[in-house]
Structure 1
Amino acid sequence: MIGIWAALSPSKNPDSCTAIDLQGLAIWALQFTPRVAMAEGEAVLLEIGASVRLFGGLENLRLRIEGEATELGIDAISWAPTGTAALALLRCREGDGFARPLPSILDKLPLETITAVARHQGTLHRLGSRTLGDVRKLPRGGLGRRFDKQLLTALDQAYGLRPEVYEWVPLPETFSARLEFQFRVEHAAALMFGARRLLLQMSGWLAARHMGVTAFTLRWCHDAMRAKTAGTGGELTVRTAEATQSVEHLGRLLTEHLAKVELLAPAGDIELLATETIPITQESKSLLPDTIRQGEATALVLERIQARLGKERVVRPRLVEDHRPECIQQWLPAEQPLPRASVIDHHFPLPGWLLAEPLRLAERDNRPMYQGQLQILLGPDRVEGGWWDRQGKVEGAAPGTVQRDYFVALSHHAGLLLVFQRRLAGDETGWFLHGQYA
């Protein structure tokens, strides 16, 4: 399914000063979205589509992720509409999967960019296939019989034709992260380079848990080639006056404390722990003012919102006596009194979400298809009428007139759906998706 995915891979350069692990990278990423997964032990995948508005738009969110990822030592990052496509682009160091239509980008990638395809690389080469586009040109029936089903599944998932399934990384209750240096650190102040990366991880964990830290501990382990009198390592606990998530503030405090520390032996790795945390009050971004929770009358609050946004933008729903699902509710200006209306008691369950326009469904043996064959659970519920609606708000044989049989159907991927079949519509008969149940 189409979304906004990012794939991040830590640096594999042996000359890199520090090495961040996938688990630490995933915990840091949880501040942006709960949909974080580790892919095949080489990258972390994030689906951020639902978080775009929270962070001020896609561009702002991308810049923040890429900026902090650079500080964490991320070697490569790629963006794509699907997780499998983002991972494929990451493997060939292609960054943007939104620059052109996704099929035109993926068709040019080599076979080894998707693991399920790479397993059959030798056979596919003998068939003349060198790219993913070449594989897609082969008959699907022959591919399904000759290769395992994972090949076609992975291709469909990469191109957004089939939903992807991942095991999301859980957010830990406590924070503890280690980082190994690729060299021996002889001065305490030099620990700050690696410690800042751990502070970034801790800040992400704090943001995901809506907490602030009031005390954290930095531990360091001495190198194995140390004097016996030096001990195994040391630690330093830093306390703050108030709870915070600021990396800059915590970094300045830690720098000041490390300046007073003398290492008894070279250090090989460090560990950061959030020892004391408390919930932190977040700034409310609600359109409704806080005074409404303090007992202010709703009418007065609505007047203030109308003055801010305009009267035409503040509306309230009105239930209408109508059998057609799309006409049951109307929106009126909030200041306009609601007329009395007798509402029809619908025995057939109505969905919580209706499509703006019904979507025509494919059929197989006169059975509707939507991400697979649908299973009819309830129905039919016949709806006829709308001849009085002369403004043509709804499609039909006449303006507003509908003749439908409604059903509740089950999709194994999309859940419960409201579908209908047109009656007496000539060439326009068929199955349509109209809504989805919560």
Structure 2
Amino acid sequence: MRLWIGLSLPRLPLEVFSPSWCTDAGSVVLEQERVLALSATARAAGVQPGMRRGGVLMLMPDARVHERSPPREAEALYAVALAMLQYTPQVAEAEEGTLLMDVGASLRLFGGVRALCRRVRADVRALGFTASLACAPTARGAWLLARAGGHRSMRRTLKMPTLVRRLDLLDLLLAPPARPFAAWFEGIGCASLGELRRLPRPGLQRRCGRALLDLLDAAYGLSPELYEWIAAPETFAARIELFDRIDDAELLLAGARRLLLQLTGWLCARQLAVERIVLRLEHERGREARPPTCVEVALAEPAWRDEHLVRLLKERLAKLVLEAPVIGLGLEAKQLQPMAPLSDSLFPEPGGSEEDRMRMLELLVARLGADNVLQARPMADYRPEQANVWVPVQQKVSDRARNAQMPPDVMSLPRPTWLLAKPIALLMREHRPFYGSPLRMASNPERIEAGWWNGPETRDYFIAEGQDHALYWVYRERIGADESEPRWFLHGLFG
């Protein structure tokens, strides 16, 4: 099924200076010295579109007056388009701050048109913009409906007959080619697209040109539509300017999420997953310039979704103490891997998947620090206390290297689940080692002789059993030991 989403940003000229999630004291955007866009606070003070600068300052002396910035608007629209690439690779930029998305092939993946529209709205809101969203079987139809303010009943516009009825009710001046002839259309009593379609086409073409008829034919599905899709760049590096100096690191999370949404779209478009990201906190420039503060997040497993990255950054920023106010943010993707698709097993493992466990470990590392979340790594040494070292959980060791470090003849021998940090000397009673009760040897001895390069060790290890049938791992020293009174030690306990 062919389905398009039209995503209009009607407040884009204003929200590039004052995002929707910012508290605004009264912002006004001027174009050619007249009000183009204004905030709710400015409207409540009496400011109206088309008003001159002097009138604005008379009503609101403390108003924040900005000149319209087309480069900022183009940059913001591209950032939204980059974030939308996570839903479909077919995203095109249209006129008047609008994006067109061909999502017909994405509906089942994201749970249907309603669920997809909710996610799109939430992402645009997180980016700091107000969205007007509409769905239609044609791109120009979705564009016109979105420019008109969208519709609550998205599902009703999935059929062509319904789209035709809705388009017929729209204002004629939503079509840009019709605006130069607004006075003529008003004079003949033509106010809607439905009335426009009933006019004779040859006369309409001679007076208004071919562009208006082409737009109508595309919107009503009478002619094919061709668009140039937005392509993701080869590398990802995004940056935003903050609208105030931030002294608290936790307040930077909203801006960081804007960058992460762009990263998610870029990763999905390039079919990549990221292993390490760097968030750069930019400080004051000029005489008091300071180098940026870099917050690095390393992942145990490559990821391409923003929810997990947001949680990790939230933990890192909560522990960060800023040495200077932050005025800008930058995000870079350092290590990338091809995206590995999720595999659904016939019988899912209880307690979550391997990906869930790795995400939990990454969250612990972000909260406690890399030096406090460790994993065991075997070493090529026969001595039990030297056969293992603790390394950070994010330090990767290949299976081949891990198996090569393990002595092959040791891997098949029984080892206790709990190895004591320091062996405990045992008492001798009736020529038998004693630990709560006399211990009976339940296995043949295993002799370990190693460490000639840093202190030789020669021991005979046994599995011993107590009267309560608990099993212990004990050894008897041979070097320097008296044969009549051998020294016994407890080194581990079996589960």
The equivalent residue for 1:78 is 134
Task: Give the secondary structure class of the aligned counterpart of 1:123.
Answer: helix
Alignment coverage as a number of residue pairs: 284
What do residues 362-405 of structure 1 show as CA deviations (whole Å, max 9, x unaligned)? xxxxxxxxxxxxxxxxxxxxxxxxxxxxxxxxxxxxxxxxxxxx
Q: Distance in 2 between matches of 1:126 and 1:274?
A: 58
The ranges of structure 1 where at least 4 consecutive aligned residues each deviate by more than 6 angstroms after the TM superposition are none
The equivalent residue for 1:193 is 254
Residue 7 of structure 2 contacts residue 99 of structure 2 at CA under 8 Å; is this kept in 1? yes
The equivalent residue for 2:172 is 111
Task: Give the secondary structure class of the aligned counterpart of 2:6.
Answer: strand
Matches within 5 A, 1:163-174: 163-174=224-235
The equivalent residue for 2:89 is 34
What do residues 45-103 of structure 1 show as CA deviations (whole Å, max 9, x unaligned)? 10111222343443443333333333333412222222222222222212356536112
**Identical amino acids, percent of aligned pairs:** 39
Task: Give the secondary structure class of the aligned counterpart of 2:300.
Answer: strand
Task: Give the secondary structure class of the aligned counterpart of 1:117.
Answer: helix
Residue 230 of structure 1 contacts residue 265 of structure 1 at CA under 8 Å; is this kept in 2? no
* AA of the residue aligned to 1:24: A
Matches within 5 A, 1:364-379: none
What do residues 153-190 of structure 1 show as CA deviations (whole Å, max 9, x unaligned)? 00111111111221110122222222232222222221
Q: Distance in 2 between matches of 1:233 and 1:135?
A: 58
Matches within 5 A, 1:145-224: 145-223=206-284
The equivalent residue for 1:366 is none
- The CA RMSD over aligned residues, in Å, is 2.6
Residue 78 of structure 1 contacts residue 86 of structure 1 at CA under 8 Å; is this kept in 2? yes
Deviation of 1:266 (Å) = 2.5
* AA of the residue aligned to 1:85: G
Q: Distance in 2 between matches of 1:154 and 1:285?
A: 45
Matches within 5 A, 1:6-405: 6-10=5-9, 11-12=11-12, 13=15, 14-16=17-19, 17=21, 21-40=76-95, 42-76=97-131, 77-95=133-151, 96=153, 98-99=155-156, 101-223=162-284, 228-231=287-290, 233-284=292-343
Closer, same or farther in 2 for the Cα pair 1:73/1:244, shift >3 Å? same
Structure showing greater radius of gyration is: 2
* AA of the residue aligned to 2:108: R
Closer, same or farther in 2 for the Cα pair 1:144/1:204, shift >3 Å? same
Under a length normalisation based on structure 2, what TM-score does the superposition of the two structures give? 0.53
What do residues 137-167 of structure 1 show as CA deviations (whole Å, max 9, x unaligned)? 1111111122210010001111111112211
Closer, same or farther in 2 for the Cα pair 1:94/1:61, shift >3 Å? closer
> Structure 1: 5+ residue runs without aligned partners?
288-438
Q: Distance in 2 between matches of 1:65 and 1:178?
A: 22
Residue 9 of structure 1 contacts residue 74 of structure 1 at CA under 8 Å; is this kept in 2? no
Task: Give the secondary structure class of the aligned counterpart of 1:84.
Answer: helix
> Structure 2: 5+ residue runs without aligned partners?
23-72, 347-495
* AA of the residue aligned to 1:90: A
* AA of the residue aligned to 2:165: S
Closer, same or farther in 2 for the Cα pair 1:230/1:187, shift >3 Å? farther
* AA of the residue aligned to 2:283: H
Deviation of 1:26 (Å) = 1.1
Deviation of 1:232 (Å) = 5.6
Task: Give the secondary structure class of the aligned counterpart of 1:99.
Answer: helix
Closer, same or farther in 2 for the Cα pair 1:180/1:88, shift >3 Å? farther
* AA of the residue aligned to 1:128: G
Deviation of 1:261 (Å) = 2.9
Residue 86 of structure 1 contacts residue 97 of structure 1 at CA under 8 Å; is this kept in 2? no
Q: Distance in 2 between matches of 1:93 and 1:58?
A: 18
The equivalent residue for 1:301 is none
